[in-house]
Structure 1
Amino acid sequence: MSKPEEVIRTTIPTPQPSEQTKKQEKRKALKDNLTGYAIISPWLIGFIVLIIGPMIVSFYLSFTNYDLLSSPSWIGIENYIQVLTNDPRFINSLKVTFIFVFVSTPLKLIFALFLAMLFNTGRKGTSFFTTIYYIPSIIGGSVAIAVVWKQMFGRTGAVNEFVTSLGFSGMNWIGNPDTALSVLILLVVWQFGSPMIIFLAGLRQIPADLYEAASVDGANAVTKFFKITLPMLTPVIFFNLIMQTIGGFMTFTQSYLITKGGPMDSTLFYAVYLYEVAFEYLRMGYASAMAWILLVVIGVITLILFKTSKYWVYYESEGGR
């Protein structure tokens, strides 16, 4: 057998761009970058001025004694030591806020998921009712709703009218330390429209083929929910859980307008106590230290949720948990 002929390949050198072409490309890239920065500049300026700037100032003030009327004086970590070791109201506000978050958040997500599954049936009129149930999430944090809620649960409110009509004796729901926090939890749970919409979007992304295959195998509705719906919805549940937990720790309006943190500090949310310290007692340095402690608390809880998510959140693109 004869050896194959050797093929001589000639390499044609790639022409290099000229210096003028390079300058034109750089000018075009710079123009594109400047255009992009110009488009996002309103948000960027707002982010720096309204978020980053105040955070830096707040961090500095947390190490000072500042009363809004005189210049701040540096005291080091004294504010943090006093908050953590010598402030019973701080401990109580943290306790009340934890109870509020860990009770209201699961209840809100359960109701949101239940309604989302109900509206995912595609029956006539579901869009209308979805809108109706979403409205409280828009106006739920308003002053008007807080005032109405306070009137409803007052001694002569609609709730007591209903209770007495059933033959029971009414009570001052807001003025009782044993029930005041439950009233605020109920108000927040009622505002489940936002996570409901997110759950509804997640439910509509679950392939119908999975349910059809399960039906062929004889699976009932409960089995489908726990074996298909819930695992496929865990990323959405995780997102809602993170957002609602963070929002719960920053709750302010409901407690401040309805109960003022009372009675007997039973509804003294962390944000309400922080507001009192800053703008009623004029201890802005102390309040700044409280704000950073809250940031750390939220960060730790969020980190825990992210670390534990790998054990229960299902991502289809990663082939499971």
Structure 2
Amino acid sequence: MYEIAPLLDDPIHNLKTIRDVFRWSITEMESADLSYGHGSPDAWEESSFLICRALKLPFEHFEDFFDAALTHNELVRLVHLIDRRVHEKTPAAYLLKEAWLTEHRFYVDERALIPRSYIAELLEEDLWPWVEDPEAVGSVLDLCTGSGCLAILAKGVFPSAQVTGSDLSADALEVAKINCREYGLEEELELVQGDLFSGLAGRRFDVIISNPPYVTEASMKRLPQEYRHEPEMALGAGVDGMDVVRRMLPEAAEHLTDNGILIVEVGDGLEAVEATFPGLELTWLTVSGGDDQVFLVTAEELKRYFGDEGSN
């Protein structure tokens, strides 16, 4: 009796099918204090993503496999992954070494931020109407490239462009190299290590995109445990979240072509941006997260604002 009792609560002995594991996973996640900020909005989608991709099943046919019996090894692996998600609060993307952005798959691990930028949505629309002819774009820079996901998406949008991804973190660039290799872009996409523009002296770009660190000091202290698995340097940006952006914009003026544009994601930092650069003419772009997440500024406006004649 005493030997059998522990088996009654052991999922390895009680779960048989994908449906069984899916139901158990949702219950486990709903019973835990989890945060879903890395791609899935709730326990239902987090469980389906974790199970589906761990088994290498196609998303669109996941439910067709619900009543399929699991092998012992499959079951052990799924239970282990779900247990880590619940108790270690490790994001599913890190558990699977896989993240998806606008239907594109990227490799990711703890050396780089999990891909989730709103700029990807804008790239899906070819940055229209700000870029009238994608074929005419000759150079693109993804500043703070991390895993390289936005640089890779940009290469798909602007096939004629020389695309460069730059990041301060050598570890993140190793992840970007893996993604470049998986997309067959090792020779076409340049990766540069440096603090903002430090590795790009004298170079100018038609388009610069950036999803830099922008989390405030106060918000960093309140981050859920899931975010603490990510590199702190990819998130925190000082008291007002503007430490990186404050340095980026004046330098960007000298790294854009005459008709170039800079697009920057700042989360909920609209007020901080406008307080940091009063009088700078910005265009706030519409993305699924709202109209206050991503701004665009032209080379002409940056040069006007930071030019020698100004006092800014």
**TM-score category (smaller protein):** under 0.3
More helix per residue: 1 or 2?
1
More strand per residue: 1 or 2?
2
TM-score normalized by the length of structure 1: 0.21
The answer to which structure, 1 or 2, has the higher relative contact order (CA under 8 A, 6+ apart) is 1
TM-score normalized by the length of structure 2: 0.21
